[in-house]
Amino acid sequence: MIHTNEDTIAAIATAASDAGIGIIRVSGSKAVSVVSRFYQNSKHEYDLEQHANGTIRFGYFCDAKGNLIDEVMVSVMRAPHSYTKEDVIEVNTHGGTMVMQKILHELISDENECRLAEPGEFTKRAFLNGRIDLTRAEAVMDIIEAKSEFALSNSEKQLRGDMRNIIVDMRAQIIYEMAFIESALDDPENYDLTDYSSRIMPMCDKLIRKCDNLLKSADEGRVRATGLSTVIIGKPNSGKSSLLNVLTGEETAIVTDIAGTTRDVIEHDVKIDNILLHVIDTAGIRDSADKIEAIGVEKARKFAKEAELIIYMVDSTSQVGDEDIEILTSVKDKKIIVLLNKTDKEDEIIITKENIQKLLETVGINTDVPIITTSMILGNGIDDLKTAISDLFFNGKLVPEDEIYITNLRHKQLLEKADRSLNLVRDSIEQGLSEDFYTIDLHDAYESLGLIIGEEVGDDLVEEIFSKFCMGK
């Protein structure tokens, strides 16, 4: 059967796991009549067709033969006042996977009337029916996937329409100039292009700056949203796994006093204030005859190479030397924080911050690398570590700013394209080319920005974007 946007669709909107309540959502012109077939009110006196909009009522959901499946609550939201702008019914059942599946199965059994929704199809309809633009539809997905305070708050801003408004505003400025040029070329008597280039130049610069600022936010936005990949490396027994455990607040990794305890990499997401870190604990680096340990050491080096942040762990009660130089050299171009650990063993400390400073100089690492004294046993130095991370990556700003960050690769690429087109407009102006030259590039910029909010976007792209959504959304 060919799926169309006119079909009535149904899907489980809540998680596919046992929960208190589950919602099965139905959308489309047949929604009310399809659900009516299975819905009974306690006194049989009540008809779904009469159900007041936006209200919820108790009743029974029975199968086609009239056998009770579950007691439910049903809400009706008629077009256009619904999520999809179509008639929407939500059946609230007990949230067992079995009961939700059974009800869904009844609803979609008669395929001509109602079929299973594709992933993201409800939100796709909200977009196609004009309730939300593409950035807001994408925000819905981002909210569901958000794993940090930042990711969530940024996506909520996008859902609110902040991104859309910026783009709409930029496009309005572009189309105004395009219209002006066109009118002037058609009707030179009434529209004067004398000195026009000195007027359009500032506008162009402003738009380019806007693009550049948004693009700048993209890299920071990604780190903030998906987490900073952070690798803890150092010699065996320095306290790397202890740090991971302190950060996660649980026994995530095995800690013993035997050098070479950690062999494989251990990964864990850790939230530090508003920053999400993807922390990777690794095997202590040394030459090992043990085959398994040697593989672990190789892995540690590989992960360190791909990391965005290196936490270099040093045992302050143990000599530093060639091995440290060798490890630090391999990560010298990364952002590094050095932890000088085990400082609770006051009498045994032989390595100081100054020694580390010298070591870093030997390796040729910038001397403003933070060196923090810590004790994993006492939990000392963790706050300093947090501050150092926020300084390194966010200039000390931990609270998300009110500005919106670009976190979507599609938006980033289209903004880059618009940026390039606007720079071409700028070049044309500088070269004193005639106005009709600008319009081509202005139009390209206008189109690229339009694709971000979903105007002039083709069916293929719409399919691709919404197919990444989850079921029932």
Q: Point out which residues bind ligand GTP (CB under 6 A).
A: 236-242, 255-257, 259-262, 283-284, 341-342, 344-345, 375-377
H or E segment to which residue 340 belongs: strand 335-341
Choose from ligand GTP, ligand FFO, Mg ion, none: what does 59 bind? Cβ within 5-8 Å by kind.
Answer: none
Give CA torsion, residues 334, 340, 341, 347, to 10 deg. Answer: 170
> How do strand 88-95 and strand 68-77 relate by DSSP bridges?
antiparallel
Pattern 116-155, ligand FFO, x by CB under 6 A: ---------------x------------------------
Q: Which of 42, 47, 55, 80 binds ligand FFO (CB under 6 A)?
A: 80
Residue 241 marked ligand-binding: yes
**Is 90 among the residues that bind ligand FFO (CB under 6 A)?**
yes
Count of residues of this chain found to bind ligand FFO when the rule CB under 6 A is applied = 8
Q: Which lies closer to Mg ion via its Cβ, residue 161 or residue 260? A: 260
**Is 26 among the residues that bind ligand FFO (CB under 6 A)?**
no
Residue 262 marked ligand-binding: yes
CB atoms within 10 A of CB 432: 8
CA distance 328 to 320: 11
**Rounded to the nearest 10 degrees, what angle do helices 353-363 and 322-330 cross at?**
60
Residue 284 marked ligand-binding: yes
Residue 317 marked ligand-binding: no
Q: Which of 83, 405, 446, 466 binds ligand FFO (CB under 6 A)?
A: 83
Listed residue (460, 422, 369, 1) closest to 171, CA to CA: 422
CA distance 22 to 294: 50
In the region spanning residues 213 to 272, those forming contacts with Mg ion, defined by CB under 5 A, are 240-241, 261-262
Q: Which residues pair with 92 in a beta bridge?
A: 23, 73
Choose from ligand GTP, ligand FFO, Mg ion, none: what does 344 bind? Cβ within 5-8 Å by kind.
Answer: ligand GTP
Q: Which lies closer to ligand FFO via its Cβ, residue 124 or residue 342? A: 124
Residue 25 marked ligand-binding: yes
* Angle subtended at Cα 357 by Cα 333 and Cα 277, rounded to the nearest 5 degrees: 50
Listed residue (243, 233, 247) closest to 307, CA to CA: 233
Choose from Mg ion, ligand FFO, ligand GTP, none: what does 82 bind? Cβ within 5-8 Å by kind.
Answer: ligand FFO
Q: Among the candidate windows 76-84, 176-184, 189-197, 455-463, which touches ligand FFO by CB under 6 A?
A: 76-84
Q: What is the DSSP letter of 230?
A: E
The nearest distance, CB 402 to ligand GTP, in angstroms, is 40
CA distance 465 to 473: 13
DSSP codes joined into one string, 280-328: EE-PPPS--S-HHHHHHHHHHHHHHHH-SEEEEEEETTS---HHHHHHH
Tokens for 370?
């933070």
Choose from ligand FFO, ligand GTP, Mg ion, none: what does 321 bind? Cβ within 5-8 Å by kind.
Answer: none
Q: Which residues bind ligand FFO (CB under 6 A)?
A: 23, 77, 80-83, 90, 131
Q: Which positions make up the binding site?
A: 25, 90, 131, 237-242, 256-262, 281-284, 473
Q: Which positions make up the binding site for (6S)-5-formyl-5,6,7,8-tetrahydrofolate?
A: 25, 90, 131, 473
Q: Which positions make up the binding site for GTP?
A: 237-242, 256-262, 281-284
